[in-house]
Amino acid sequence: MLKSTTPTVVGSKTEAKTKHRTFSLNAKDKYYAALFLGPSLLILSVFVFYPMLRTLYISMFLTNTLGKTTVFNGLGNYTDLLGSPEYIASLGSTLVYVFAVTVLTVGIGLLLANLASKRLPGIGIFRTLYSVTMGVSVSVAAIFWLFIFNPSTGFFALLSNLLGLPVINWLTDPTMAMWAVIITTVWMNLGFTFLILLGAISAVPTTLYEAASIEGASERRQFFKITVPMISPTLFFVSTITLIEGFKSFGLIDLITKGGPTNSTNMLVYRIYKDAFYSGNYAQASSEAIILTVIIAFFTFLQFKFLEKRVNY
Amino acid sequence: MYRNLYGVNKMSTILNQVSKNYGANNVILNNVSAEIETGEFFVIVGPSGCGKSTLLRMIAGLTEISDGEISIDGQVVNDLQPKDRKLTMVFQSYALFPFLNVWDNVAFGLKARKLDQAEVHQRVNDALDMVSLSEFKDRKPRELSGGQRQRVALARAVASDAKICLMDEPLSNLDAQLRVKMRQEIYQLQRKLGITLIYVTHDQVEAMTMADHIMVLNDHEVQQIGTPTEIYQQPANAFVANFFGTPLINVMPAQKIDDYTLNVDGDFEIRMEQKITDKATKIGIRPGELSIEHADELFANATVKSTEFLGDETIVYATTNSGHDIRVLLPGKAVYAAFEKIKISSSNNIFLFDSLNKRIPMEMGDLVNA
């Protein structure tokens, strides 16, 4: 791998056109190229390339409980998975979760960022408060929200009692458990999304708003006709990041619902973890991982194809 | 200090003792008064930091007024929203929307005001025609040159159909040649549309060439309001005299010898036709009023530093014996070597300033020593 990569990285375009196309580097250049590229290639190979190829390999075998491959199974693991109603249900709940999380995170983040971008006295306090979840770890957030969701002493229970409404069993009702996980994830995501969007909104030249206000555009119109299009590259960025992160959610699910009740929050990543490390079914977990990779790649591709065209100006 | 404030012409923009400050120690503008007549080209000029842009933003309603009153066509507009002041503004940065094409940029305000489709089309197309941008209507701002972007901003102002247009240093992002061209275009546009144009610039040439009236601002206060001719020929004070005219006017200390003779710091004398008041302590001489002779050591009163040949004229930079830098504008080509000794003399078409740098009027009929 080293040999084939180094010359193209260091050789300039003009050099590449000369007859010494592949071996135009002198010994010293090669030495430096290897020196600079070596560490990252080594790290990537050990932690990314090898596991990826190994996962792909395992996914086409059957494995024993130690994870050793036993019998070649071709695409058998994949066909088994796609024929399993349980897996399809898991896929469905993951999609619901990911889309709800993305829409809510970006929507609420945009709303808060727009509010916090106004020049008002004391606005700094809100800017700090809204971005504070960036500094909260998943475990702390999970504990915090478990307290809030607690059906007898939690904040929501107290609120329901106060208003005379029936208490919601956030973590034992399958539908509400999904919402509990969504709410917690959105809350966790907000800090980062808010901060990035606030930065983008602050970078919009004020003269655009001034020109618009002289020309008679209302605040609402200014938001939709100036702010949103001006920050659309950033909106695209945060929605892509949130979507990918959504598919990869693990920590909060493990700490809040553990995939339950009745598998209602058994998202793809959590399923992979359980299949591999609880059931010892490494082959199936590997094929699930490959499917998840394909799904994420597919949605990212869709986003780039359809959204990116509209956000460039 | 202001013109005709109480000879109220209803259809005009009146600034009455307008002030802007951020606390007592941070005064931006102090007691600015002026009347801007409908249909005139009014230029606000001054060095950077004098508050001229702030004044324009106050007229637009983008910056709050601390004190005083601004009225447009007889109505006090202090508390009106920018959109209700029936004006339009061209920004230094042009404020174009990068994601909209030229046509939509011009239509933005009209759509915001919910005009009907046919009228929007009519007005936008007319405005683009007027600034000769029709063939570029589908381009995005980034695909246009600086001058074309400037024209889009102008088209937006034209399309708005407002009777008052404010411009904040609209030409400062353009190169010198384009600036001259756009200067003429803006002037012609203003004349063609008959709108009131209030134009902020730091460039005295723009002010002199385009304005019907000029307001000179410095140190947060109005120095003078007048026509370009008045400003040039009868500057209110040394600052105004200094600000207008290239090369720079020569302001030097002078002493009265007798009623009709001034001694310019021991370097040369000027014989006046009118009696000289005792208050005169400085004089201002335009470089064109000076003349030079070659002279030997004995009669010389200055030494040449350098010369600049401009084609029709030559500027000679020299230092007088008393140490003042002096600029002389000579017709045609004049050959003087650096370090050459020269004798400078002046016509008596000069300005007299008192110790506070105010000009002492000397025009025919002015009462000297009154």
* pLDDT tens digits along A73-116: 888 889 989 998 989 999 999 999 999 999 999 999 999 999 99
Model confidence over A178-232: pLDDT tens digits? 999 999 999 999 999 999 999 999 999 999 999 999 998 999 999 999 999 999 8
pLDDT over threshold 90, residue B326: yes
Q: Which of A210, A215, A313 is closest, CB to CB, to B112?
A: A215
Q: CATH fold of B246-360, please?
A: OB fold (Dihydrolipoamide Acetyltransferase, E2P) (2.40.50)
Kindly list the residues from chain A whose CB atom is less than 8 angstroms away from the CB atom of residue B81: 213
Is residue B365 over pLDDT 90? Answer: no
> What does R_g of chain B's alpha carbons equal in angstroms?
24
- Residues A299-313 have pLDDT tens digits of 888 888 877 666 666
Beta carbons of B250 and B327 less than 8 angstroms apart: yes
- The identity of residue B314, as a single letter, is T
Cα nearest neighbour of A230 on chain B: B99
What is the three-class DSSP state of B331?
Answer: strand
| Gap between the Cα atoms of B279 and B254, Å rounded | 11
Rounded Cα distance, B55 and B74, in Å: 19
| Per-residue pLDDT, A2 | 38
Query: What are the structural domains of chain A?
Result: 2-42 (no CATH), 79-311 (1.10.3720.10)
pLDDT tier, B275 (very low <50, low <70, confident <90, very high otherwise): confident
pLDDT 10s digits, B120-155: 999 999 999 988 899 999 999 999 998 899 999 999
- Identify the CA nearest to A81 among candidates A289, A297, A298, A261: A289
Q: Are strands B255-258 and B261-264 parallel, antiparallel or unpaired?
A: antiparallel
Q: Give the per-residue pLDDT at B122.
A: 94
* Cβ A289 vs Cβ A56: under 8 Å: no
User: B2: pLDDT confidence band, cut at 50, 70 and 90?
Assistant: very low
Output the pTM of the full model: 0.80
pLDDT in tens, A28-57: 888 899 999 999 999 999 999 999 999 999
Please indicate whether, in this complex, the C-beta atoms of A217 and B108 are within 8 angstroms of each other. yes
Chain A CB contacts of B109 under 8 Å are 212, 214-217
Cβ(A185)–Cβ(A133) under 8 Å?
Answer: no
Share of chain B above pLDDT 70, in %: 95
Contact B97 A218 (CB under 8 A): no
Residues A107 and A98: their CA atoms lie apart, in Å, by 14
Cα–Cα distance between B150 and B147 in angstroms, integer?
Answer: 5
Edge-first strand listing for the sheet containing B250-253? B250-253, B282-285, B351-353, B359-360
In the predicted model, is pLDDT for residue A172 greater than 60? yes
The residues of chain B that CATH labels 3.40.50.300 are: 12-238
CATH architecture assigned to B12-238: 3-Layer(aba) Sandwich (3.40)
At residue B363 the predicted structure's pLDDT band, cuts being 50, 70 and 90, is low
- Domain ranges in chain B with CATH number 2.40.50.140: 246-360
The overall average pLDDT reported for chain A is 86
ipTM value for the complex: 0.84
* Cβ count within 10 A of residue B69: 14
